[in-house]
Amino acid sequence: MQTNDLINALRADAAKQAMPLGYSWWIAIVAATIIAAGAFFILIGPRPDFTVAAHTPRFLFKFIVTLALVVVAFALLRVLSRPGSDVRHVAYWLVLMPILLGTAVAAELFAVPSDQLVTVWWGSNVYVCLTFIPLIGLGALAVFLAALRHGAPTRPRLAGAVAGLLAGGIAATFYAAHCTDDSPLFVATWYSIAIAGLVALGAICGRRVARW
Amino acid sequence: MNGDAENELATLLRAAIAGDERAYAEFLGRTAAIVRGFARRKIQGGVDPEDIVQETLLALHMKRHTWKTDAPVSPWVYAIARFKLIDAFRKRGRHVEVEIGEIAETVAQPEAETVSDREIGRVLDGLTAGQRSVVAAISIEGRSIGETAAKFGMTETAVRVALHRGLRSIAKKFGRS
């Protein structure tokens, strides 16, 4: 078949259009959030003293970090799904999370007596955290991979990893409402490891799922 | 690519997305020439540049909803062409570095096609009989949707569906194989 023949066929197919990618991303994040919320309320739910905790800065800080992660990862994922967009410009914002966490950890090291640091760092929910953040984020990750498939990622593995990061951010936001370990030391360590699991899974699936 | 050519290309693609078939054919023709220049400069044997042109056009077609209607077209086209080029080398078991520089691309000259047997023709054989005859009638024989419907005694809607499914299946084969 010659190229002009192919153009004839593509031209005749002009009317069949897929949904603009911008819309699909907003649908995806709403769907992913609903799925994660469902998993959260079915599996663990918020901690009993939620309303009291909501007045403490350590508790609120968890949401600042996780929501910042959601915003940045979502922007980055959208950019990665469009060929030829400026990825680097958005990717720089990823340093925001280490900066936030680093600052909070430094403050925590001053505030907490040194003989209690290990106790605070280890907390009492390590395994709960490592289990339920990935579990809550799993459905969200599947939604984002499907949206990625609708897009055209020229770096599918990286895009899949960022899909995992976004799913992890959403899952961690919900999980933070359950967990009673509010120390930045705990968050910086165990949340990161739990989210990294989803990132790795996303990277593995991205290469297979988002092929086009 | 200069600003005027860039703006014209964007105007054509916007018109195409609004449903203007003639603008779409014009857009695809110009884009094919640009991608051909790009592919010929990047390839020294191993892969037929025209295969890259066709795979890129098909990918552009299937993924045209990923173009932001207020963005320039050429970075989007080149990113897809580069992706398809790297993919083609990867599939053929070769590792190549395709330079990411934009300088070489700005001097890309549109080039005309040379005739040879194309991969897409072989992929066509993998379609169902119905899809293949519809795609062949419209592409190779150059028939319209209406003429094709009359030829096979199908409704126009059925022809459009068969065409779209056929093209999607071809695009998928390029992505997978």
Instruction: Report the complex ipTM.
Output: 0.90
Q: Give yes or no for residue B98 having a pLDDT over 70.
A: no
pLDDT of residue B74: 94
pLDDT of residue B172: 85
Shared domain for B10 and B83, answered yes or no, is yes
SS3 content of chain B, % helix, strand, coil (to 5): 70, 0, 30
Q: Which CATH number characterizes residue B2's domain?
A: 1.10.1740.10
Query: Which residue in A has a C-alpha nearest to residue B73's C-alpha?
Result: A84
Q: Is residue A39 part of a domain?
A: yes
Q: Give yes or no for residue A33 having a pLDDT over 90.
A: yes
Label residue B103 by pLDDT band (50, 70, 90).
very low
Q: Is residue A91 part of a domain?
A: yes
Q: Give yes or no for residue A21 having a pLDDT over 60.
A: yes
- Kindly report, residue by residue over A155-182, the tens digit of the pLDDT: 999 999 999 999 999 999 999 999 999 9
Interface of A with B in 188-207 (CB under 8 A): none
Name which residue leads in pLDDT, A135 or B42.
A135
Label residue B116 by pLDDT band (50, 70, 90).
low
Q: Is residue A53 part of a domain?
A: yes
Interface of A with B in 53-92 (CB under 8 A): 81-85
What is the span of the domain harbouring residue A156? 21-209
- The CA distance from B41 to B28, in Å, is 20
pLDDT of residue B123: 77
Interface of A with B in 150-189 (CB under 8 A): 150-152, 154
pLDDT of residue B4: 87
Residue A120 contacts residue A112 (beta carbons within 8 Å): yes
Residue A102 contacts residue A130 (beta carbons within 8 Å): no
Q: Give A185's contacts (C-beta < 8 A, 6+ positions apart).
A: A105, A108, A109, A112, A117, A120, A121
Q: Is residue A11 part of a domain?
A: no
A10·B167 Cβ contact <8 A? yes
Question: Letter for the amino acid at B67?
Answer: W
Shared domain for B98 and B76, answered yes or no, is yes
Q: Which CATH number characterizes residue B122's domain?
A: 1.10.10.10
- Of B96, B114, B132, the residue that ends a domain is B114
Shared domain for B148 and B65, answered yes or no, is no
Q: Give yes or no for residue A145 having a pLDDT over 80.
A: yes
Shared domain for B24 and B100, answered yes or no, is yes
pLDDT of residue B48: 86
Q: Give yes or no for residue A191 having a pLDDT over 80.
A: yes
Phi, psi of A182 (to 5 degrees): -100, -5
The residue behind tokens 């809607």 is B157
Question: Letter for the amino acid at A29?
Answer: I
pLDDT of residue B126: 82
Selecting from B28, B54, B78 the residue whose C-beta is nearest the C-beta of A11 gives B28
Q: Give B57's contacts (C-beta < 8 A, 6+ positions apart).
A: A3, A6, A7, A10, B28, B31, B32, B35
Q: Is residue A12 part of a domain?
A: no
As given in the structure block, the two tokens for residue B165 are 């499914």
Selecting from A11, A13, A21 the residue whose C-beta is nearest the C-beta of B164 gives A13
Label residue A184 by pLDDT band (50, 70, 90).
very high
- The CA distance from B12 to B25, in Å, is 9
Q: What is the mean pLDDT of residues A45-74?
A: 95
Q: Is residue A4 part of a domain?
A: no
Shared domain for B28 and B47, answered yes or no, is yes
Label residue B112 by pLDDT band (50, 70, 90).
low
Domain count, chain B: 2
pLDDT of residue B45: 77
Shared domain for B28 and B108, answered yes or no, is yes
What letter would DSSP give residue B71?
A: S
Residues of chain B contacting residue A6, judged by C-beta atoms under 8 Å apart: 54, 57-58, 120, 139
Label residue A212 by pLDDT band (50, 70, 90).
confident
Shared domain for B78 and B163, answered yes or no, is no
What is the span of the domain harbouring residue B156? 117-177
Domain count, chain A: 1
Residue B58 contacts residue B171 (beta carbons within 8 Å): yes
B164·A151 Cβ contact <8 A? no
Distances (CA, A) of A191 to A43, A46, B88: 18, 17, 40
Residues of chain B contacting residue A11, judged by C-beta atoms under 8 Å apart: 21, 24-25, 28
Q: Residue B58 CB: number of other CB atoms within 10 A?
A: 24
Q: Is residue A105 part of a domain?
A: yes
Q: What is the mean pLDDT of residues A74-88?
A: 96
Selecting from B16, B62, B142 the residue whose C-beta is nearest the C-beta of A8 gives B142
- The CA distance from B68 to B71, in Å, is 5
Shared domain for B102 and B131, answered yes or no, is no
Q: Is residue A43 part of a domain?
A: yes
Q: What is the mean pLDDT of residues B24-30?
A: 96
Shared domain for B133 and B97, answered yes or no, is no
- The CA distance from A184 to A107, in Å, is 9
Q: Does residue A42 belong to the interface with chain B, where contact is any CB pair within 8 Å?
A: no
- Of B66, B81, B114, the residue that ends a domain is B114
Mean pLDDT for chain A overall: 95
Residue B118 contacts residue B50 (beta carbons within 8 Å): yes
Residues of chain A contacting residue B142, judged by C-beta atoms under 8 Å apart: 5, 8
Q: What is the mean pLDDT of residues A59-63?
A: 96
What letter would DSSP give residue B125?
A: T
Q: Give yes or no for residue B162 having a pLDDT over 50.
A: yes
Closest CA to B120 of B32, B24, B41: B32
- The CA distance from A163 to A210, in Å, is 11
- Kindly report, residue by residue over B1-26, the tens digit of the pLDDT: 678 889 999 999 999 999 899 999 99
- Kindly report, residue by residue over B136-151, the tens digit of the pLDDT: 999 989 899 999 999 9
Shared domain for B16 and B85, answered yes or no, is yes
Q: Tell me the angle at which helices B21-42 and B49-62 cross, rounded to the nearest 10 degrees.
A: 140
Shared domain for B149 and B98, answered yes or no, is no
pLDDT of residue B122: 76
Shared domain for B102 and B137, answered yes or no, is no
- Of B73, B89, B114, the residue that ends a domain is B114
- The CA distance from A137 to A191, in Å, is 12
pLDDT of residue B87: 87
